Amino acid sequence: MKLQFLYEYQQQENYYSKLIQQINQIKNDDITRRLKDEYSRLKSEYSILYSKKTDIEKKILSKNTNCKRLQESKNNYEKLLYTPEINNVKKLETLMKQIEDVEKNIMLERTDIEDLEKNLKNVEEEIKKIKKKYAFIKKKYNKTKEDNEQRMNFLLNEKTGTEQFLQELKVRIDADLFNNYMKMKGKISNPIAEIKNRKCGGCGVEVPAMHYEAVKLGDYMKCQSCGRILVYIKNNN
């Protein structure tokens, strides 16, 4: 019976090792890290594009204000054409030159506005794409993070429960037997092997009939091939 407790201890140790491995995998989860990096990258890119959009909108507003001011100047110059103040050719030519210059400036401003509006449209399209990707990555990241947190909570609870169970099992195991088991662990993996179909569960070599019967009775026997401690579990045979 003591051997069965020790075998169960070994099984729980193996389970505990798998728990630790899974916990470390979650802590170092590459998928979550890559999603987080992509999430941060898109957030940064969105911020840059939004600032660019704001800057273009300010420039368009400024250009429109300039256009309005220039148009008012042109209107005022045109009104002067029909006033007594323009009473000679030289004044007329000067005024016409001023009107022409203003019209050129208006055209330049409008051309700039058209270019800015095209740029603004392109930036807005990029922002839409980024927002779509951002929403997708954010949702996927949050879902993965939530799943990992739930999985981690389960694993940590299992870890605590297994630690307690290992302590309970250790109390039931003979000290000398346990110390021998610990020494063997340094030389061979899973030093206790269950007999299945009359074969050693560690190396697969058939156990002699005499040894098999002795192990069934609870006697301490080792596999003649691999040296593992043999144990017989009734419900598994």
153 in the same domain as 168 = yes
198 in the same domain as 164 = no
213 in the same domain as 136 = no
Span 167-180, pLDDT tens digits:
999 999 999 999 99
User: Total structural domains in the chain?
Assistant: 2
109 in the same domain as 184 = no
12 in the same domain as 100 = yes
195 in the same domain as 147 = no
Query: What's residue 236's pLDDT?
Result: 62
142 in the same domain as 101 = yes
DSSP conformational letter for 159: H
Residue 234 pLDDT class (50, 70, 90 cuts)? confident
In the predicted structure, residue 40 carries a pLDDT above the cut 60: yes
133 in the same domain as 23 = yes
Cα–Cα nearest to 92, from 105, 78, 106: 78
How far is it, in rounded angstroms, from Cα 57 to Cα 124?
11
85 in the same domain as 22 = yes
188 in the same domain as 150 = no
**CB-based burial label for 84 (10 Å; 0-12, 13-18, 19+):** exposed
Structural domain boundaries, residue 35: 2-172
Residue 100 pLDDT class (50, 70, 90 cuts)? very high
Q: Cβ(157)–Cβ(195) under 8 Å?
A: no
Q: What is the pTM of this model?
A: 0.67
